[in-house]
Amino acid sequence: MFPADSNLFLAAIIVIAVVVTVAKGVRIVPQGSKWLVQRLGKYHTTLDPGLNFTIPYVDDVAFKMTTKDIVLDVPSQEVITRDNAVIITNAVAYINIVDPNKAAYGVEDFGIAIQTIVQTTLRSIVGEMDLDDALSSRDLIKAKLKDAISQDIADWGVTLKNVEIQDINPSTTMQSAMEEQAAAERQRRATVTKATGDKEAAILEAEGRLEASRKDSQAQVVLAKASKEAIEMVTTAIGENEMPVMYLLGEKYVHAVQDLAQSPNSKMVVLPADIQATLKGILGR
């Protein structure tokens, strides 16, 4: 009885070992991936997506690489520009593994390696620019960065599809200084604008006074000419007869006295000292 049970147990172990062995030799690689197989510790082959077979216990899957695009975030860092301004910048790189063998064996960790080379190259590019140029030249920085690192990472079996500058901003201290500078510039412009406005207003006011003076002078000349013509006409009309002149003067005198008497501030009435002689002169007696 015992030998039969032992044989059954041994057969079960053999069946399990065969199943495990066959399972280890069958490799199903998912779409979008490539697996690197090492045989006895040495690179042997690359398995493409689908069903693949390997030698159990001899072949081993050492690396599983993706063939899809990888988004690699490059951490923020402080960069000093050519004019000694401090800015904070970061980037994002879009890469694709075209040679899994080089990516696995050409560098220890291609992700960290690419992050490091992007950071150092970005520092070098921005360090050769002034602050204003760095803040306004993202496309130029991106083009230089892509050209500089594409050849280097190609040696690792990786291609750089694109790189973008996410943020490029002055540091907190630099932002405060720039805001103060902008505020001072706005205040200066406001002061200049106000001074220019006051100057133009003063000029316009002076020109207005000058024009008014000219008009007054012209009016006085016109009035003087009118008075002259009136006097000449009256002189011609009366000739040597004084009575019309005396009458006109007396009439204006009487009107002036009436206006003075009707004034609310008047406290007395002014009459001529010789009123009888005045009336006789007016009446022509």
Query: Residue 157: is it exposed, middle or buried by C-beta count within 10 angstroms (0-12/13-18/19+)?
Result: buried
Q: How many angstroms separate the CA atoms of 100 and 47, rounded?
A: 10
Domain 70-170: CATH superfamily, name plus number:
Band 7 domain (3.30.479.30)
CB distance 129 to 79 below 8 Å: no
What was the pLDDT predicted at 11? 80
What was the pLDDT predicted at 99? 92
What does the domain layout of the chain look like in residue ranges?
Answer: 2-66, 70-170, 173-234, 240-283
What was the pLDDT predicted at 91? 92
What was the pLDDT predicted at 1? 47
- pLDDT per residue over 55-108, tens digit each? 888 888 999 999 999 999 999 898 888 888 888 899 999 999 999 999 999 888
What was the pLDDT predicted at 257? 66
- pLDDT per residue over 223-251, tens digit each? 777 777 766 676 676 656 555 556 566 66
Residues of the chain short of pLDDT 50, as ranges, are: 1-2
What was the pLDDT predicted at 279? 52
pTM of the model: 0.57
Q: How many angstroms separate the CA atoms of 52 and 246, rounded?
A: 142
What was the pLDDT predicted at 33? 93
Q: How many angstroms separate the CA atoms of 61 and 45, rounded?
A: 10
